[in-house]
A and B are shown apart, each in its own frame.
Chain A
Amino acid sequence: MTEFSSDFYPENFKYMADYGASVSQKGYDVKTCADRFLVYSSAWKNLKIFTAVEVSATIPASGTNTITINHNLGYYAPFFVIYTGSSTVGRANSYFFTDSFGYSLDYFGDTIRQSANTLVIDVDSTFDDATPGATVYFTVYIFLDDFASISAKNVNTDTASGASSNDYGLRISKDGFDVKTCADIDCVLSSSFFNQIIHMSGATTGDTVTHSLGYYPNFFTFSRYSGIGETFIYYETYPWATSSIIDFTGMGADYTKYYLIFKDKLN
């Protein structure tokens, strides 16, 4: 369900030059704010959650226990895996792509990978505190979006913002939730929060991708060892961002690099 507050239009809602619409974050003037202060715009896609699930396995005494999630999207999609602890190390901390000791679960760790239809987590006898029989838990986010090529497009790269403290804006609830009363977490979108607006996406075997933002952007990268016919993608933290490019130098042409570059500004 969608709710527009009484002074929603035109304060933070605008029609694009040709067609479409944008909504700014609360406190920013939609007509003048930089792209990165928009909640959404029909000029760009937002990162959309296809599924968020908790999965678990036990640490084996030897060998590997494998968790398989069948998403059946039919294409490579961005994903995040968070290790949320175990029956032995506790569950008070959640670790983004590492175990509780900090061992990486990305490509270097070779533990988590995704094909066009499945996501796989391998839990072997050495995982985390290596206690056989301990139950380990993960939260997996798989996104609906693919890595189809989206070229860079800027409408306003300025950092100007509005200064209104009025409580206006846009709120859209998830299916089955009352938009007037549901918790923020049960919203599809709200102008009270910032969104992961996709500036660019794509796949390359080259060394760099030029983003043209003029500042350091937030980004996600994945890789596939396509040179040997690998069919899985891995979360990849080797690349780095500058104010003009995402740099994959050193990975080589044998790797296909998948990237999402967001409007978010790091510096």
Chain B
Amino acid sequence: MGDYGIRISKEGNDVKTCADKDCVITSKYPTLKGTLSGLGSISGLASGGSTVITINHSLGYIPFVKALLNPTNSIDFGNVYYQLPIWIDDVEDHLYSRVYATATQIKIYVEQWNAHGNTRNYNYKYFIFIDKAKL
């Protein structure tokens, strides 16, 4: 660090001597900063079908994004959250989903098919960071 800045160590570490990685925060390294997060749902996605969820942002550049998906009525997957991208071929259910971003939107793509030809429902959660995806 130069002649100014801030350094806060994690509990049990001496702030004057500990490694940077043992700091809660140090102005030497920025944190990943989130600006927008949200959740939503997809209802009745047909077997063999796909959908793209679009979320607008106003950053003016392509941000780093992350998303997770929660299948709520599948036979195989249970009521859990998966990180994207995910591609699962199980006995009854098949699921594929990914997330990508533009300078104005993020997009979550979901497709599914299952052995019974039933519709499926999902919850999704996204995080948009002010840190850039395209530098």
Interface residues of chain A, those whose CB is within 8 Å of chain B, are: 1-2, 20-21, 40-50, 52-54, 80, 82, 84-85, 91-98, 102, 104, 106, 108, 137, 139, 141, 143-146, 172-175, 184-185, 187-190, 193-196, 216, 218-221, 237, 239-242, 247, 264, 266-267
Contacts and interface: CB of A to CB of B under 8 A. Distances in A.
A226 to B, nearest CB: 21
Interface of B: 1-2, 4-6, 8-11, 20-35, 37, 39, 62, 64-68, 70, 77-87, 96, 98-103, 109, 123, 125, 127, 130-135
Given A42-B11, A84-B134, A175-B5, A195 B24 contact: no
Contacts of A239: 83
A102 B85 contact: yes
B93 to A, nearest CB: 13
A50 B29 contact: yes
A194 to B, nearest CB: 4
B98 to A, nearest CB: 5
Nearest to B99: A96
A249 B8 CA distance: 37
Chain B interface mostly: strand
B80 A21 contact: no
A221 B130 contact: no
B131 A40 contact: no
Contacts of B85: 96-98, 102, 104, 106, 237
Contacts of B66: 96, 218
Given A48-B26, A48-B31, A141-B32, 12 more contacts: A82-B133, A84-B62, A92-B103, A96-B67, A143-B32, A144-B21, A174-B30, A184-B33, A185-B33, A196-B32, A218-B68, A240-B81
A184 to B, nearest CB: 5
A80 B64 contact: yes
Nearest to A183: B130
Contacts of A240: 77-78, 80-82
B82 A145 contact: no
A193 B6 contact: no
Contact of A40 (B8, B34, B96): B8
A47 B133 contact: no
Given A48-B26, A195-B31, A241-B80, A185 B21 contact: no
B21 to A, nearest CB: 5
Given A20-B11, A266-B81, A144 B29 contact: yes
Contact of B101 (A93, A145, A172): A93
A139 B29 contact: no
A143 B20 CA distance: 11
B24 A184 contact: no
A105 B78 CA distance: 25
Contact of A48 (B4, B20, B39, B68): B20
A265 B67 CA distance: 12
A5 B39 CA distance: 32
B130 A193 contact: yes
Ordered nearest first, which 5 A-B pairs have the shortest CB separation? A94-B133, A240-B80, A194-B34, A48-B29, A193-B33
Given A84-B134, A93-B101, A267 B123 contact: yes
A82 B100 CA distance: 9
Contacts of A190: 33
Contacts of A42: 8-11, 24
A43 B78 CA distance: 33
B10 A45 contact: yes
Nearest to B80: A240
